[in-house]
Amino acid sequence: MSAKNQKKRKDKNIGEKFTRLGLLLVALSLFIALVVFFPVIKKEISYLFHKPNENVSVASSELDSMDFSPDKDIIVAADPLFSIVIPKIGANSKVIADVDPYDPKIYQVELTKGVAHAKGTAYPGEIGNSFYFAHSSDNFYNANRYNSVFYLLNKMEIGDVFYLVYKNEIYRYGVIEKSVVKPDAVEYIKKENDEKLATLMTCWPAGTTINRLVVVGKLIE
């Protein structure tokens, strides 16, 4: 075989190796993307084909649910001491109180247990801003470790309602604001006002930490 043909064969082999390497990298990238976004995709598909019933009653416990009509759909809060219920997106989660929103080592652990209530903010029913957050993930390893309660928070619109259950009392909030902000928009945590507000925040788009999705509700007395 001539030196010219040998060089062509060698170049062809190198080209095939790079092609296989490229395909392997593409497959690996798709696998990582699937791991990151599978929980989100699963939630979206579930919502698309099985939209939760919004016309429901919320009870703080199984015992309290007995006071409702048996013909009425009832959601029993995950924890009568502190929970959040969002009927529109089928969310019902325990809330972890007084979590430091500025210390990742603390809040990343607490977010595996439920939605976090920001330390220093108001409690349900109080004047001021009661702040809640649930990060979807910060990398592909943590994608399935963090709670997915707020994955569908983008479905919420002005006028929709959500509930906070605190010490067996139920507080109903109507959405008055929805926006996408930068990760450093801490003014939503420290918002001072003379109204009874509850702010919900999560990473956006879901499965990333690029921005934050903020939904603000006002207490319906």
Per-residue pLDDT tens over the stretch 60-74? 888 777 777 776 788
Taking the alpha carbons of 173, 101, 76, 158 in that order, is the dihedral positive or negative? positive
Q: Is residue 87 part of a domain?
A: yes
Domain-located, residue 51: no
> In this structure, is residue 3 part of a structural domain?
no
pLDDT score at 219 = 97
64 is a domain residue: no
**Residue 44 falls inside a structural domain:** no
Residue 113 clears pLDDT 80, i.e. is over it: yes
Q: Is residue 117 part of a domain?
A: yes
Is the bond preceding 205 in cis, omega lying within 30 degrees of 0? yes
Distances in whole angstroms, Cα of residue 154 to Cα of each of 4, 172, 177, 213, 217: 62, 19, 12, 7, 14
**Domain count within the chain:** 1
Domain holding 112: CATH number? Answer: 2.40.260.10
What was the pLDDT predicted at 93? 92
Q: Is residue 39 part of a domain?
A: no
Q: Residue 155: left (phi > 0), alpha (psi -120 to 50), or beta?
A: alpha
- What CA–CA distances, in Å, run from 54 to 57, 64, 72, 77? 9, 19, 12, 15
Please check whether residue 122 lies inside any domain of the structure: yes
Residue that is written with structure tokens 């080209």 in the block = 15
Determine the structural domain holding residue 141 and report its residue range: 81-219
Of the given ranges (50-64, 113-127, 133-147, 201-215), which has the lowest mean pLDDT?
133-147
Q: Is the pLDDT of residue 29 over 70?
A: no
| This prediction's pTM | 0.78
